[in-house]
Amino acid sequence: MTATDLPEDLYSEVQKIFRATPVVLVGSGFSCGYGLPHMGALGSHLVNVMEARLTSADAKAVWAGALAAITSNLEAGLNTIPQGVSGRDEIVAAMREETAKLIIEETMRAEIAVLAHATPKTLAPVRLLQRLYEGSPQNADSISLITTNYDTLLELFCDIAELSLDTGFAGFRRRKPRANPLFQSQFSRVWAADKKGYQADHRPCKTVRLHKPHGSISWLATAEGPVEVLNDTSHAARAIVVPGPSKYQDALLNTLFDAMRTEMNKVIESANAMLCVGFGFNDDHLQGVIKARLATHMPMLIVTRDSTDNIEQILKTHPHAIAFFAQGTGSVCRWNGASISSASPLWQLDDFLKTFVE
């Protein structure tokens, strides 16, 4: 079956989701397409470098005890390290630094490649962002992106698309998080003609709101809390939530992470639909609120290379969700309990947009 042979009601359902201006949830599968490491590659990197980074006997012993489990599955293995055990803090600090260094290096390579593209505005993420932005209601003050990734690819694609981006920070060189609320309506000043000549008028300016519940390589960790500094390639400490034993502690104890998660949950709770790109639903931060919305029959579209156990559970419990996966050189669509094969690689964002949206 080719893309043109897909059922008409599938086309209608996908286009209905886009007309609803879905919240976009972006996972590591998206960044992997640009050379960023997936969880397995990050795990291999940490296994190779962490032993040399640890200095205390306690940290070395804890790491050695968990190494076999970590090698098998990074996050599951790290979760075998109990909180409060001596040496844990040293392990978490070294993991955070090594993870940030790797992501910074690979993000730089990816962004150089993106900018070297002959026509970067034709890249699929740019076209997706423009489509969602232009298709959103006229009175909307924003469209919402959520990513669990640390890299800054989405920020770059927003710039290429020439869309106003709001990350929850304000400032210039060392941008600080806003307070109460983190994300705010933006306005632009225009000059409007009236009987007295021209008067300044402030009008709503639609933005792309980017929620990063796990932090970002652009967030520096300081004594006053995280600040956002763009294109900083130094070895300064980064405010990122690393996999394993510190994940929930970081998110709960840090004011910014708590505020970001609260804003993100509000966005999902009020979403008319969701589009998930390269996301495997392996993150407990997001599972609860998404499943609650799916239970109310919120439309959902999943576009990713491979399925996961968690995706399979979602499709089983909520068959109205639509998912596209790789199948050989083509793809398979899972919807309403059926599997619909296509010779086109519709799991790839470029082919998906050309087939269903453009």
- pLDDT tens-digit profile of 222-233? 988 899 999 888
pLDDT number for residue 246: 61
33 has a pLDDT exceeding 90: yes
Confidence of residue 249 (pLDDT cuts 50, 70, 90): low
Sequence letter at residue 36: L
Rounded to the nearest integer, the mean pLDDT of the chain is 91
In a domain, 231, yes or no: yes
In a domain, 208, yes or no: yes
Confidence of residue 250 (pLDDT cuts 50, 70, 90): low
In a domain, 244, yes or no: yes
Mean predicted confidence (pLDDT) in 279-299: 90
Is residue 328 packed enough to be buried (19+ CB in 10 Å), middle (13-18) or exposed (0-12)? exposed
In a domain, 25, yes or no: yes
Q: How many independent structural domains does the chain possess?
A: 1
Mean predicted confidence (pLDDT) in 241-266: 78
Both tokens of residue 15? 């286009």
Pick the range with the lowest mean pLDDT from 74-78, 229-233, 244-248, 338-342: 244-248
User: Which among 128-132, 185-189, 233-237, 286-290 has the top mean pLDDT?
Assistant: 128-132
Mean predicted confidence (pLDDT) in 237-246: 82
How much of the chain, in percent, has pLDDT values that exceed 90? 73
Per residue in 129-165, pLDDT (tens digit) is 999 999 999 888 899 999 999 999 999 999 999 999 9
pTM score over 0.95 = no
In a domain, 281, yes or no: yes
Mean predicted confidence (pLDDT) in 253-271: 90
Mean predicted confidence (pLDDT) in 228-251: 81
Please state whether beta strands 227-228 and 238-240 pair in parallel, antiparallel, or not at all (unpaired).
Answer: unpaired
pLDDT number for residue 58: 95
213 has a pLDDT exceeding 80: yes
Alpha carbons 221 and 26: distance in angstroms, whole number: 24
Domain of 194 in residue numbering reads as 21-298
Pick the range with the lowest mean pLDDT from 70-74, 203-207, 299-303, 312-316: 203-207
251 has a pLDDT exceeding 70: no
Beta-strand ranges (E) seen in the chain are 23-26, 142-147, 165-166, 169-170, 176-177, 186-194, 197-205, 207-211, 215-220, 227-228, 238-240, 274-277, 300-303, 322-327, 330-335, 338-342
pLDDT number for residue 82: 85
In a domain, 77, yes or no: yes
pLDDT number for residue 200: 66
Please state whether beta strands 169-170 and 330-335 pair in parallel, antiparallel, or not at all (unpaired).
Answer: unpaired
In a domain, 169, yes or no: yes
Torsion of Cα atoms, 49 then 91 then 214 then 183, to 10°: -120
Please state whether beta strands 274-277 and 23-26 pair in parallel, antiparallel, or not at all (unpaired).
Answer: parallel
pLDDT number for residue 185: 72
In a domain, 12, yes or no: no
